[in-house]
Copies of this chain bind each other. A is one copy, B any other.
Amino acid sequence: MSLVIVGSLALDSISTKAGSVKDALGGSAFYASIAASYFHQASIVGVVGDDYPQAGIDLLKKHKVNLEGLETVSGKTFRWSGKYEEWNQADTLNTELNVFANFNPILPSSYRNPKNLLLGNIHPSLQLQVLEQVESYNCVACDTMNYWITGEHQTLSQVIRKMDVVFMNEEEVCQYTGCDNIFKAGREILDMGVKLIVIKRGEYGSVCICKDYMVFMAAYPIEGVVDPTGAGDCFAGGFMGYLASKPKPNKQDIREAALAGTVAAALNVSDFSVNGIANVDKQVIDAKIKQLRDWTS
């Protein structure tokens, strides 16, 4: 069981400059596991209601995502609706937690010794709860968002102190640390015991900061963004999927993981829901990774 991904499965209603969708497949674990699947098999932990579309299950199965940890309970699936006036900022219009309100993630016994564990963007107390059930792992990572940084700062700090890898975007890392410089902010996160902080910079790419080195990665150039929802989840999924495929990741693997996450995120934003990342051949992903590697080294 080498890559376990915990997070949400949702039905999203989204409006962007490029159009809109209603009740489209989404959620942090959904996006991340599909992005990861191109690099390594993912095992998901999450919950859906009995209204969850079979198409979502079929898509995860098509991507060989292990669904043993996916619970279906009576009630409605988590729903989120949002609108993008700017590409880098969603305005939440409505959130219906539904079955997610009582989500009590229980890891199947086969999940308890993962090689890598990705705690997708959910309430930090749920992230902690999952972590407590794990018996051993090589590498544990978390993603988060501004909502938890302001509302659950202390609990989030408890999570971060246990992490090997933390994903945040520029605003989040500055907001969390109170620093106005991402490199200073990154060092503060490292000082909490984290080995690698991955700072996402939207259209400008990302920077991975470790104690001894940094890895800068450009964003894959995109001329027409359609829907940015899930870009961060796909980045984290692709990144962790690539890392899970390596026995003992070194600096070069971190760079390749950043390439994988970057290309997964770029494909994802080219269409609504997971249409951009779920319906693509591995050869297309590999070609884009090769192209971006060439442009950046």
Q: Which of A's residues lie within 8 Å of B, judged by CB?
A: 181, 183-184, 201, 204-205, 207, 213-216, 218, 221, 223, 294-297
Q: Which among B214, B221, B295 is the interface contact of A221 at CB below 8 angstroms?
A: B214
- Which B residue sits closest to A186, measured CB to CB? B221
- Shortest Cβ gap from A61 to chain B (Å): 37
CA distance A207 to B223 in the complex (A): 15
In the bound complex, residues from chain B placing their C-beta under 8 Å from that of A218 are: 205, 207, 216, 218
Q: How far is the CA of A205 from the CA of B219 in the complex (A)?
A: 12
B213 near A294 with CB under 8 A, answer: yes
Q: For residue A205, which residues in chain B have a CB less than 8 angstroms away from its CB?
A: 204, 216, 218
Residue pairs across A and B with Cβ atoms less than 8 A apart, 21 shown, are A181-B223, A183-B221, A183-B223, A184-B223, A201-B204, A204-B204, A204-B205, A205-B216, A205-B218, A207-B218, A213-B294, A213-B295, A214-B221, A214-B295, A215-B295, A216-B218, A216-B295, A216-B296, A296-B296, A296-B297, A297-B297
User: What distance in Å separates the Cβ of A125 from its nearest Cβ neighbour in chain B?
Assistant: 34
In the complex, which residues of chain B have a beta carbon less than 8 angstroms from the beta carbon of A204? Answer: 201, 204-205
Bound Cα distance from A183 to B296, whole angstroms: 15
- For residue A220, which residue of chain B has the nearest CB? B216
Nearest chain-B residue to A208 (Cβ)? B295
Residues of chain B lying within 8 A (CB to CB) of residue A223: 181, 183-184
User: What is the chain B residue whose CB lies nearest that of A295?
Assistant: B214
Beyond A183-B223, A215-B295, 4 additional contacts (C-beta under 8 Å) are A204-B204, A205-B216, A213-B294, A214-B295
Q: Which residues in B have their C-beta under 8 angstroms from that of A296?
A: 216, 296-297
In the complex, how many angstroms separate the beta carbon of A209 from the nearest chain B beta carbon? 9
**What 4 A-B pairs are tightest by C-beta distance, nearest first?**
A297-B297, A216-B218, A204-B204, A214-B295
Closest B residue by C-beta to A293: B297
Q: Name the distance in Å between A265's Cβ and chain B's nearest Cβ.
A: 16
**Complex CA distance for A296 and B294, rounded to whole angstroms:** 11
Q: Taking CB as reference atom, which chain B residue is nearest A292? A: B216
In the bound complex, CA of A214 to CA of B98 (Å): 47
The complex places the Cα of A218 from the Cα of B215 at a distance, in Å, of 10
A105 to chain B, nearest CB (A): 37
The distance in angstroms between the C-alpha atoms of A294 and B207, with both chains bound, is 13
Contacts of A214 in B (CB 8 A): 221, 295
**Which residues of chain B are near A201, meaning CB under 8 Å?**
204
* Closest B residue to A215 using CB positions: B295
Q: How far is the CA of A218 from the CA of B184 in the complex (A)?
A: 17
**Residues in B neighbouring A184, C-beta threshold 8 A:** 223
Nearest chain B CB to A126 CB, angstrom units: 34
